[in-house]
Each structure stands twice: as C-alpha cells, then as structure tokens.
Amino acid sequence: MSLTISLYIMALVVLNIGGCWWLLAKTKNLRADEDANGKVQHSYDGIEEYNKPLPRWWLWLFYITIFFAIGYLVLYPGFGHLPGVLGWSQAAQHEQEVKAAEEKVAPLYAGFAAKSVTELSQDPAALAVGSRLFGNNCATCHGADAKGAPGFPNLTDKDWIYGGDADTIKLTITGGRQGMMPAFGSSLDEPTQLAVRHYVLSLSGRDHDKDLAGQGKATFETICAACHGLEGKGNPMLGALNLTDDVWLYGGTQGAIADTIKNGRNGVMPAHGELLGESRIHVLAAYVLSLSAKQ
C-alpha cells in the first residue's frame, strides 16, 4: 500500500467517524414542535402524529459504536497501513491455527509412531486417518480407489515397481521417484523396434508374431536386459518394470508398447517428505500397505 493511498484511507476514516460524531452531537438537542397534547403540529387526512422521542440509551448505543470503531482501528489493522497494536494478521493467525491443529493431532500421531507400519496396517483407527491422508494427497494421481491409471501405478495389487515392504513404501512417499526409460527411436531402426515389441508382448503371453519375437529376443537381451533383466522380470533397484506379469503401467497394447520403445517414458512420483512429515508418512505407508494386503 502506497503512502498516498494510506493517507487517503486515513482521511476517509477520520472524516466518516468524525461525521457520525458531529451528526449525533448536532441532532441530539433538536427540538420537535409539539403542542400541549404532545402532538406534532402537522396532520394529514386528519391523521395526527405524536412526538415520540427515543429513549436516551439509544443515543448511547450510537456513541458506543463510534468508540468500538476507534478501539477496533487501534487494536487491529484497518487505519491505512498501520498494523494495529495487537500485531494481528491473517497469516499469523493461520500459522497459529496450524500450530494449534498440529499440537492437537500430535498425541494421535505419537501413538501411531510407537507402532510399526505393519502393525498399523491392521489398526482401523490408523487406516481411517490414512485413508483421509490418501484422499487429500495421493488420490489425485492414483485414484480414490488407489487402482491407478496409465502412468500412475496401481497400489492395490501385489506388483511393486520399487518394492512393497514398509520401509520402501515410506522411502517412495518421502523422497519421490523418477522412473526413466530412455527413448530408442533414434538408436534402433524401425524393424528392430517392431521385433523387440513382439518379444515384449510374448513375455507376458499376449498376442504376438512368433517370428518377429524370435528376432527381437537378441536385441532385448543385449539392450533392454540391462535394466529389465534377462528374463524381463524388472529390477526394483532401478524401478525397471516387470514385463512378464501382464500388468501395464503405460498400456500393454501394440501401440502403447511401440510408443514406449520409440519415445521412452518419464514417470514422476513427487517427494512428499517436506509436505507431510515423518509422522503422517508413517500412517500413510500403513494404509498403502493395507490396500494390497486385501488381495
């Protein structure tokens, strides 16, 4: 707020409050013309009006509102750019509320922290909290039912890209993941890409051309096996996918696989360590663990 605007607002405020005061002071002793019967000296259609003065406390109410306004402007921000003597601000109040909320839930999370993730995954109270955390932070990508979508892993099956034990899940949530498959569109020619595609299809028993798959096997075992392993069973250390289980992160159709080989894939799971904090991630991991335990 520039000083000019601030001064302008101050002037307006002073003028208005002063104006209210002046109006009250001017009118409180006004005289009403009334005759001996207490009637005001005008009639209309034979209807006459009594003079009915308001009770005096009514006037005091008006004055109180003025004092209230002045008191408010002294205590709180409002008088131009002045912050008010209480130093109140929206941001500070928000931080205070957050702190109060954290303090309120701290004992709850302390109770959860005392148990292992595996124990918590059986605890209905922890799962209720976990499901809400999941709904707020994870469901946007993984879906409300955690069954994922193309590019976003299904968390309810037994198929884990980086490993499904409690510590790994916590690590994934805390630090995030960068799933990277390089693009082979420039290093492999079209026929080779086609052959590799059919070999990949054959790994999980999908429809494929036997001859092409046979041609692709050698290329797969020299290039792709570096990450996916000789048998194509993937590598949790690298986040390389298992190509033999017919679970497809980016789609298992001919087109989708061709696209993956040609252009590569970049999967990002954002890091939530800063956002959620250790105690919440502990509970969340238990919830994620419980999802696949149901299967």
Partner 1 sequence: MPGDIPVQQLYVKAPKIYVKPVGGVFAKLRVAAMWLLLGWYYLAPWLTWDNRQAILFDLPGRKFHLFGLTLWPQDFIFLTWLLILAALALFFFTAVSGRLWCGYACPQTVWTKAFMWMERITEGERNARMKLDKQPLSFEKIRKKTAKHSLWIVFALFTGFTFVGFFVPIRELSADMLNGSLGGWGWFWVLFYSFATYGNAGKLREQVCIYMCPYARFQGAMFDRDTLIIAYDSKRGEPRGARRKDVPRGHDGLGDCIDCMQCVHVCPTGIDIRDGLQVACIACAACIDACDEVMVKMDYPKGLIKYTTEHRDSGKETHVLRPRILLYGALLLGLFVLFIYALSVRMPLRVDVLRDRGRLYSMTSLGTIENVYTLKVMNLDQDAHRYRLQASAEAPVTVKAETEFVVPGGEIVNVPVRLEIDPYELSEVTSTVHFRIESLDKQDVVVDETSSFIKPANTGAR
Site of interaction with partner 1 (CB under 8 A) = 27-35, 51, 53-59, 131, 135, 139-141, 143-147, 149-150, 248, 251-253, 256
Q: Scanning the structure block, which residue is given the tokens 């209720």?
A: 128
What's the CA gap between 114 and 128, in Å, rounded?
A: 17
Residue 185 vs 252, nearer CB to partner 1: 252
Residue 249 vs 281, nearer CB to partner 1: 249
Structure tokens at 158: 């037994």
Burial grade of 157 (CB within 10 A; 0-12, 13-18, 19 or more): middle
**Shortest distance in whole angstroms from residue 2 CB to partner 1:** 40
135 contact partners, CB below 8 Å, separation of at least 6 = 144
Residue 51 vs 244, nearer CB to partner 1: 51
C-beta of residue 197 within 8 angstroms of C-beta of residue 216: yes
35 contact partners, CB below 8 Å, separation of at least 6 = 41
C-beta of residue 67 within 8 angstroms of C-beta of residue 55: no
Residue 73 vs 283, nearer CB to partner 1: 283
**Shortest distance in whole angstroms from residue 24 CB to partner 1:** 10
Q: Residue 239 — left, alpha, or beta (φ > 0 → left; ψ -120 to 50 → alpha)?
A: left
Residue 174 vs 204, nearer CB to partner 1: 204
167 contact partners, CB below 8 Å, separation of at least 6 = 117
What's the CA gap between 73 and 153, in Å, rounded?
A: 55
HSE, CB side, 13 Å, CA atoms: give it for residue 18.
Answer: 6
C-beta of residue 39 within 8 angstroms of C-beta of residue 50: yes
**Shortest distance in whole angstroms from residue 13 CB to partner 1:** 26
Residue 30 vs 91, nearer CB to partner 1: 30
Residue 145 vs 211, nearer CB to partner 1: 145
Segment holding 69, helix H or strand E: helix 56-75
**Shortest distance in whole angstroms from residue 3 CB to partner 1:** 39
Residue 136 vs 187, nearer CB to partner 1: 136
What's the CA gap between 274 and 281, in Å, rounded?
A: 10
**Shortest distance in whole angstroms from residue 29 CB to partner 1:** 6
**Shortest distance in whole angstroms from residue 245 CB to partner 1:** 12
